[in-house]
Amino acid sequence: MHKLSFPILEALSDGQFHSGEQLAQRFNVSRATVFNAIQSAEAAGVRIYSVRGKGYQLPQAITLLSLEGLTTAGLSPTLVSMIEIHPVLDSTNQFLREQLTGVGQNRIIACNLQTAGRGRRGRQWQAQLGESLTFSIGWQFQCGAAELSGLSLSVGAALIRGLHRLGFSQTALKWPNDIVINTPQGYDKLAGILIELQGDMEGPSQAIIGIGLNLNLSKQTRVNIDQPVTDLASLQTQNTVDPNTVLTHLLHALLDTLQGYESNGFAADKEFWLKNNAFSNQSLKLILSNGSQVTGTLHDISEDGALVLNTEAGIKSFHAGEISLRTS
């Protein structure tokens, strides 16, 4: 993106019209430069209204992530020292992946606009400016990647704890680690987790824990997502969601979990996970990577994060991998 695009988007974040002339004066550049910066933001997928005689306007007022906002929201000094907020990144997971070389520090990368977000199973993750929270935590473990099989479930449990503290008590877990809201038709997805592991099977290892959470999706974004979705704004009465407050609560919960994970593993979160599972007593359908299907009801979750189902053929365990889970 043009180097002036993000400062202009910050100026437009109040949701008001700003004329090209006013923006040019504010940033001490020509109107042509403002025009180029706006075009470059649009090319990165940002929707900007342009009205002759009035200027430029975002579809809605938005609150951006900032260190100041996080500090005001009460983010702990330890976390403030670990976090970097970028205006625009392709993918926070990819950024961390390029930066993590061997054993290093634990880090948190968040961005206001993620242009090429990645989801599980090779999918894209849609995130528009002001509509979603996108961040990744790079975490160092002494243990090997083999011992981290339950990590994604513990991360899901931590997100639910953070969301409950924010007052979103209806949020639930869908194995292995989606955050969903139950609906009469099934469920709507609120957040997703993508964990990528690097390092030695025996240790040490590094996890890149990427989280995308829908805050306030526009109609257009919803149309582009090929599954039922929801956002925090739809789950509460006042329609504004401050990303700084949400991220602060989620990070406090996540750091508690990550700090304890190496000694306790998923076992520490198992009971909480089962209690907050979206599909107790429902008939479930697993679609395996070879296309075959298994139906059953939830029997248990094993301490290494496998789904244990009661099926017609008895009790069977399934590991996440390429399996997808539906209600049937």
22's enclosing H/E stretch is: helix 20-27
Residues 13-72 that bind ligand BTN (CB under 6 A): none
User: Residues 265, 285: contact at Cβ < 8 Å?
Assistant: no
Q: Which amino acid is at 28?
A: N
**Residue 291, CB half-sphere, CA atoms under 13 Å: how many?**
0
Cα three-residue angle 179-180-182, rounded to 5 degrees: 155
Q: Is 121 helix (H, G, I), strand (E, B) or coil?
A: helix
Question: Which one, 75 or 195, has the nearer CB to ligand BTN?
Answer: 195
Question: Which one, 33 or 93, has the nearer CB to ligand BTN?
Answer: 93
The only residue of 2, 86, 123, 222 in contact with ligand BTN, by rule CB under 6 A: 123
Least distance in angstroms from the C-beta of 212 to ligand BTN:
3
Residue with the two structure tokens 């609560």: 249
The only residue of 162, 210, 265, 296 in contact with ligand BTN, by rule CB under 6 A: 210
> Should residue 126 be labelled a site residue for ligand BTN when binding is judged by CB under 6 A?
no
> Should residue 270 be labelled a site residue for ligand BTN when binding is judged by CB under 6 A?
no
The only residue of 5, 136, 171, 244 in contact with ligand BTN, by rule CB under 6 A: 136
Could you tell me how many residues of this chain bind ligand BTN (CB under 6 A)? 20
Question: Which one, 125 or 168, has the nearer CB to ligand BTN?
Answer: 125
Cα-based torsion angle of the residue sequence 168, 169, 172, 177 in order, rounded to the nearest 10 degrees: 50
β-sheet with 132-141: strand ranges across: 83-89, 107-114, 132-141, 205-214, 186-199, 178-183, 172-174
DSSP summary character for residue 277? B
The only residue of 18, 118, 174, 270 in contact with ligand BTN, by rule CB under 6 A: 118
Site string for ligand BTN, 211-240 (x = CB under 6 A): xx----------------------------
State which residue has the least CB distance to ligand BTN: 192
Is-cis flag, bond preceding 184, omega within 30?
A: no
Least distance in angstroms from the C-beta of 195 to ligand BTN:
9
Residues 76-115 that bind ligand BTN (CB under 6 A): 91-93, 114
> Should residue 192 be labelled a site residue for ligand BTN when binding is judged by CB under 6 A?
yes
Least distance in angstroms from the C-beta of 285 to ligand BTN:
18
74 burial (CB, 10 Å; 0-12 / 13-18 / 19+) is exposed
Question: Residue numbers of the site for ligand BTN (CB under 6 A)?
Answer: 91-93, 114, 117-120, 123, 125, 134-136, 178, 192-194, 210-212
